[in-house]
Amino acid sequence: MSKYTFVLYHERQKEFLAALQELGLVDITTTGWEANGEERAMLAELEQHRAAKSCFAELAKEEGFEPGEPFSDGEEAFRQYLQASAAIEELKGRLEKARREADELAVWGDFSPEAVKKLAEDGVVLRFFSVYDSEFAAVRRVAGDAIIVEPVAEREGRTYFVVVAPDGGEIPFDAQEQKAPETTAAGKRREIAAMEAQMDELQAVMARAYASRDAIEAHGERLRERLDFSRAAGSGRREVENRLVIMEGWATQETSARVDELLEGYPDVVYFKEKPTPQDDTPVVLKNNRFVNPFEVIGQFYALPKYGTMDLTAFFGPFYMIFFGFCLGDAGYGLILVLASFFLRRKKTTAMKQIANLTLLCGLASVLFGFLAGSFFGVQLAGVKMFAGIREKFFDTDMLFTLSLGLGLVQIIFALVLNIVNVSRRFGFKYSLGTLGWLMILVGGLGMMFLPGVGIVLPSPVYYIVMGVGAVLMLFLHNPEKNPLVNFGSGLWNTYNNVTGLLGDVLSYIRLFALCLSGGTLALVFNDLAFGLTADMPVVVSQIVAIIILLFGHSINLFMSALGAFVHPMRLTFVEFYKNAGFESTQREFSPLRKAEK
C-alpha cells in the first residue's frame, strides 16, 4: 500500500476529487468526518434502499405475485416505492381496525343509524348493553315493564340487547354498556372493500417497483457515489486561513503508478508519496488464491488483519474445512452440501460464488470425515456387508475423541509458529524469543509423552535440553528491551498464563467430538423412529410414513448440525487460533473513491 498526502487550493478540491473518483484507485481517509444535514439525509435514504431490497425479496416469495410494468427510471421507481410502502403500512393499520369494528358491529345486525339519531332527537334514546347469557334473565326481571329491554343477538356466551332509556340515566340492573354504533356492519364492510381496492392499487405500484429493482439499485449506487464524494470533500484538513486543503489517500502498490501519472499531470496539486508506518490507519485489501478466497467470508465475521501483519486466512482455512467436516461427521449430509454448492453457483454475484465454493469445500470435508466415522445419513457403515472388509478402519468414539484433541494441539502449535514468524518479520527475531521458548517447552513435553508410543525413541536428555532452553527463553528473554533478571517476574506470570491457557484451549476442541457424536446419534435415532414406528403398518402406508419421518428428521438434524459445524469451528479460529497466532485486527477495508458501476 502507498500513502499519499495531497496539498491543494481549497477551490480546486472538488474538481480534484472528481478526477480521483473517475480514476477509482484512491482510498481517501475520512477519519473524523461528521455528516451534515444533507449527508444525514443521504444516509437515511441509503438505509431505505436496503429496506427496499429486503422488501422486494419478501414480495418475490408471495404466492401468485407477478411483477408489473417497470418505471421509466430508478429515481421515479424509488420515489413511488417509498410512497406506496408508507401508504400500505398506514392502510394495513386502518384495515385491521375496520375489520375489528365490523366484527363488533355484526352483533347488532342491520339497522338505520339515521333512524336511531332521529329517535334520539324525539326523546327516544336507545342504549346498547351486553351481559353473560346466564345473567340476561335477571336483567329482564329487574327491568320489568318499566324499561323496554330487547335482545338482539347471542355470541360467545354473551347476550347483546338494546334498552330504551334516558341517555346517561341510571339503570336498575348490572350490565356492560357498549358504545352506540355510528354505522352498521354492512356500512363498515363497504369501507373495508374501498380500502382493499386502494390496497390493490398500492400493491400494483409495488409490483412495478419490483420490476424496476435493478434501476432502483443503480439509483442507490449513484447515491452512495455522491455520499462518498461528499464525505471525502468534508474530511480534508484546512490550513492557512482555510485556503489550503490537506488530504490523505491510499493506493495499492500495483496501481500507484497510474495514480502518480494522474498527479504528475494535474495542476496546482502538491503530493507526497511514502510507505505506511505502523502508526498509520492503513486500509487493507486481501489477496488470496482461488482455494483460500472462500475462507475470507469466515475471517470477515471477525475483523481484517492489520496492515503489515500476516493474513491468516490461508492458514486457518484448511483447519476450518477439516473442523467443519469433523463436526458434521456424516457423508450423506456432506453430499447434500456439495449438491447445494452447485445450486448456489448458479447465482451470478461474486459473494454468492464465494459462499458456494466455501460450501463445496466444507461439504467435501464432511464426506471424507463421514466415511472415516462410518456414517451415511445415520446408517453405520460398519454394519453394512459392502464395508465388512474395512470395518476395523472406521473411527470409533475413542479415536474421534483423541483426534479432536490432537487436531487442537496441532493447530495451537502451528499458530505459535506463525506468531514467531510474524513477530520476527515485523520487529526482529529477538522479540519472538519468549514465544519460541514456550513452543520449545510445549514440543519437548509432547515429544516426551507421545513419540515413544509411535516408535521414535530419543534420549531423555534431549527433551530436557529442549525444554530447559525454552524455559530460559520464556522466563528471561521474552522482552529484549529489559534486563533478563528483570524479565524473570513477568516471565513467571507469562508461564502461568500459558500453562493454564493451554489447558483451556485444548479442551475447547472437545466440541468437535461432541458435535460429531450428537449429530450422528440424532441421525441414527431418526432412522430407528422411521422404521421402528412403521414396522406394524401396511407396506404402502409404512413406506410413506417412514419417508416423511426421515425427511423431516434429517432436515432438522442437517440444519442444526450444519449450524453447529459453521459456528463452533469459527469460534475455535477466532479465540484459540487467533490468540496463539498473535492476530492483530483492523476495521478499515480498502475502499477507493470511485464512480458507480453503470
Mean pLDDT of all residues in the chain?
88
Distance from C-alpha of 229 to C-alpha of 596, rounded to nearest angstrom: 11
H or E stretch at 155? strand 148-155
Residue 274: pLDDT over 80: yes
Which has more pLDDT, 305 or 180? 305
Residue 598: pLDDT over 60: no
Distance from C-alpha of 473 to C-alpha of 440, rounded to nearest angstrom: 9
Distance from C-alpha of 161 to C-alpha of 170, rounded to nearest angstrom: 17
**Confidence band (pLDDT; 50, 70, 90) for 463?**
confident
Kindly report whether the global pTM for this prediction surpasses the value 0.95.
Answer: no
- How far from chain centre, in Å, is Cα 507? 28
Query: What digits encode the pLDDT tens for the residues 476-493?
Result: 887 888 888 878 888 888
Distance from C-alpha of 509 to C-alpha of 514, rounded to nearest angstrom: 9
**Over residues 55-72, mean pLDDT:** 88
H or E stretch at 239? strand 237-239
**Confidence band (pLDDT; 50, 70, 90) for 576?**
very high
Query: What digits encode the pLDDT tens for the residues 206-217?
Result: 999 999 999 999
- Could you give phi then psi for residue 274, rounded to 5 degrees? -150, 170
Distance from C-alpha of 319 to C-alpha of 391, rounded to nearest angstrom: 27
Residue 467: pLDDT over 60: yes
Q: What is residue 168's predicted lDDT score, i.e. its pLDDT? A: 58
Rounded to 10 degrees, what is the CA torsion of 398, 404, 410, 413? -110
- Could you give phi then psi for residue 68, rounded to 5 degrees? -100, -160
Tell me the Ramachandran region of residue 455: left when phi exceeds 0, alpha when psi lies from -120 to 50, beta otherwise: left
- Could you give phi then psi for residue 238, rounded to 5 degrees? -95, 135
Query: What digits encode the pLDDT tens for the residues 381-402?
Result: 777 777 766 666 777 788 889 9
Q: What is residue 367's predicted lDDT score, i.e. its pLDDT? A: 93
Query: What digits encode the pLDDT tens for the residues 251-261?
Result: 999 999 999 99
Q: What is residue 388's predicted lDDT score, i.e. its pLDDT? A: 66
The answer to whether the Cα torsion of 392, 397, 402, 403 is positive or negative is: positive
**Over residues 518-522, mean pLDDT:** 88
Contact 564, 515 (CB under 8 A): yes
Distance from C-alpha of 472 to C-alpha of 318, rounded to nearest angstrom: 34
Q: What is residue 497's predicted lDDT score, i.e. its pLDDT? A: 86
**Over residues 275-284, mean pLDDT:** 90
**Over residues 349-361, mean pLDDT:** 90
**Confidence band (pLDDT; 50, 70, 90) for 562?**
very high
**Over residues 398-407, mean pLDDT:** 90
Report the 10 Å Cβ neighbour count for 47.
10
Query: What digits encode the pLDDT tens for the residues 109-151?
Result: 888 888 888 888 777 888 888 999 888 988 888 888 778 888 9
**Over residues 333-338, mean pLDDT:** 94
Distance from C-alpha of 505 to C-alpha of 410, rounded to nearest angstrom: 12
Q: What is residue 16's predicted lDDT score, i.e. its pLDDT? A: 92
Q: C-alpha distances in angstroms, 104 versus 56, 173, 192, 194, 314? A: 35, 23, 14, 19, 66
> What DSSP letter does each residue of 9-72 carry, written as one string?
EGGGHHHHHHHHHHHT--EE--TT----HHHHHHHHHHHHHHHHHHHHHHHHHSTT----PPPS
Q: What is residue 451's predicted lDDT score, i.e. its pLDDT? A: 81
Q: What is residue 446's predicted lDDT score, i.e. its pLDDT? A: 87
**Confidence band (pLDDT; 50, 70, 90) for 455?**
confident
517 contacts: CB under 8 Å, gap ≥ 6: 329, 397, 400
Q: What is residue 596's predicted lDDT score, i.e. its pLDDT? A: 77
Q: What is residue 299's predicted lDDT score, i.e. its pLDDT? A: 92
**Alpha helices in 62-132, H assignment, sequence order:** 74-105, 113-121
**Confidence band (pLDDT; 50, 70, 90) for 457?**
confident
| Helix, strand, coil percent values for the chain (each to nearest 5) | 65, 10, 25
Q: What is residue 575's predicted lDDT score, i.e. its pLDDT? A: 92
**Alpha helices in 313-396, H assignment, sequence order:** 313-328, 331-344, 350-373
Query: What digits encode the pLDDT tens for the residues 422-449?
Result: 999 988 899 899 999 999 999 998 888 8
Residue 268: pLDDT over 60: yes
Query: Partners of 155 in the beta sheet?
Result: 158
Residue 249: pLDDT over 90: yes
